Amino acid sequence: MRLKNLFKAAIISIAKNKMRSLLTMLGIIIGVGAVIVMVAIGQGAKSQVESQINSLGTNLVIIYPGAARTGGVSMGAGSFTRLTLDDVDFVKKNAVTVTGVSPVIRTGAQLIGGIGNWSSAVYGVSPDYLQIRAWDLSSGDFFTDTDVRTRNKICVIGQTIAKNLFPDQDPVGQQMRIRNVPFKIIGVLTEKGQNANGQDQDDIVLAPYTTVQYRLSGFRFIGQILCSALSAKTIPQTEEELASLMRQSHKIQPGEDDDFTIRNQTDIAEAAQSTTDVLTTLLASIAGISLIVGGIGIMNIMLVSVTERTREIGIRMAIGARGSDILTQFLVEATLLSLGGGIIGILIGIGTTKIVNDVYGWSTSLSVFTMLVSFGFSGLVGIFFGFYPARKAASLNPIDALHFE
């Protein structure tokens, strides 16, 4: 019953000075709201990066060309290529920890068909490409190993090309010229959107790699080899196996440097997630400073309140209130102010996050855990910064308090 009376007295005291109470809570409101918004933006960015990394493929391991050296200086990965289709065949034949292998032969080309022309990238790949990249078809079919062996002039196009060259019609079965070479469209890819670099993944043409190499690019060497590991856990084992097979294929002697580079999406994902985690922590820390400032504001107002209510405190003590009762009363007031600010801050944070997501198009992710932590922390701020004023009130001498003007 006594605790109930303390809460009642605290609420009455807060309600007496509504404007001052609101201004006191302002720092907490801003702090909690800012923490929720900043963490939501950071988590949204993290989810977006994870989605973009996952769009690269299933347990993807990529073999890139190696680095050339000029005068003892490395020119960087990809500056020297010795990757060939023989390497692809050797990996396919001997690798036991991969579920798919595809060369990638890229060339730019002008596409002519449908209602006009379009400049795009043409990729020569194998039938394993869709499984490796975790890509599906929205219509039609993909080419087969037979099409690769016969260098069949068929292709699969992305949604961007379909929308620009064949609007309001089904491209499957229609003809399209690539560098004046006629190709038959046999399928359309599902939409994949932009990658982490902002490139349109749907602005793409896929064709049998033999067709692209012999009819379009004319290059003997290939740009990269894509492989899919058995699972995420076996990626390190797959990298070791691929490195060993590539050294055998290129007849690299022990002690000699590799003329290729092997990377996987896990490395990219970990680096990207580490960056977004740091960003989220930084944003939340900056926003958390507002909570500390809000707590200082509560302490200042509570000190003013103690001074204003000195005679009241003296009267309460004179009629039997103990120091612990006065301490608890002021702590309850400070905590209620802080928790009230926390509730309003959560509501404002949710509303602001919705605005950021809907109006500005930023990817956000609201977290119930963050809201609960922010609310709990706001209560702790009230207790921590309210303790000193409460203790000061409790330590007042009743006689001095009654004579205070």
Retrieve residue 175's tokens. 């003809």
Indicate the range of 152-161, 175-184, 238-247, 329-338 predicted with least confidence: 329-338
Contact 154, 208 (CB under 8 A): yes
By C-alpha distance, which of 87, 63, 83, 96 is closest to 248?
87
Residue 161: pLDDT band with limits 50, 70, 90:
very high
Q: Are 206 and 155 in contact (CB under 8 A)?
A: yes
34-38, 76-80, 158-162 — most confident range: 158-162
| φ and ψ at residue 117, rounded to 5 degrees | -135, 160
Least confident interval from 64-78, 216-230, 380-394: 64-78
Q: Which DSSP string corresponds to 170-194?
A: --TT-EEEETTEEEEEEEEEPP--B
Nearest Cα to 364, choosing from 42, 50, 54, 55? Answer: 42
Q: How far is CA 364 from the centre of its chain?
A: 9
Q: Where are the domains of the chain?
A: 2-52+271-402, 83-258
Which pLDDT value is given to residue 378? 84
Q: Is the pLDDT of residue 363 over 80?
A: no
Q: Determine the Cα–Cα distance for residues 237 and 245; give it in Å rounded to an integer.
A: 12
Residue 402 has pLDDT above 60, yes or no: yes
Percentage of residues in the chain having pLDDT higher than 70? 85
* Tens-place pLDDT, residues 277-294: 776 677 667 667 777 877
Could you please report the per-residue DSSP string of 112-165? EETTEEEEEEEEEE-TTHHHHHT--EEEE----HHHHHTT--EEEE-HHHHHHH
Mean pLDDT of 141-165: 95
Structure tokens at 308: 């204003």
Alpha-carbon distance of 164 to 379, in angstroms, equals 57
**Residue 58 confidence (pLDDT) above 80:** no
The pLDDT value recorded for residue 71 is 46
**What is the per-residue pLDDT for 272?**
61
Q: How confident is the model over 96-110, as a mean pLDDT?
A: 93
Decide if 197 contacts 55 (C-beta within 8 A). Answer: no
How far apart CA 16 and CA 1 sit, in angstroms, is 23
pLDDT at 80 over 60: no
In degrees rounded to 5, what are phi and psi of residue 217? -85, -45
Question: What was the pLDDT predicted at 196?
Answer: 59
Cβ pair 190, 140 in contact under 8 A: no
Nearest to 102 by CA among 121, 83, 74: 83
Q: Tell me what pLDDT residue 383 has.
A: 83
**What does pLDDT average to over the chain?**
83
- Cα torsion at 270, 275, 276, 281 (round to 10°)? 120
Unique residue bearing structure tokens 């609007």: 167
Residues 167-195: pLDDT tens digits? 988 999 999 999 989 999 999 999 988 76
pLDDT tens track for 187-240? 999 998 876 566 788 999 999 999 999 999 888 888 899 999 988 788 889 999
Query: In the structure, how many helices (H) and strands (E) does the chain have?
Result: 13, 11
Distance (Å, whole) CA 182 – CA 42: 48
pLDDT of residue 267: 62
| Model-wide pTM > 0.85 | no
Residue 405, pLDDT > 60, answer no
Q: Do strands 181-189 and 260-264 pair parallel, antiparallel, or not at all (unpaired)?
A: unpaired
Q: Please, which pLDDT band fits residue 371 given cuts at 50, 70 and 90? A: confident
Q: What's the maximum distance between 2 C-alpha atoms anywhere in the chain?
A: 105
Per-residue confidence band for 70, with pLDDT thresholds at 50, 70 and 90: very low
Most confident segment among 64-73, 203-212, 311-320: 203-212
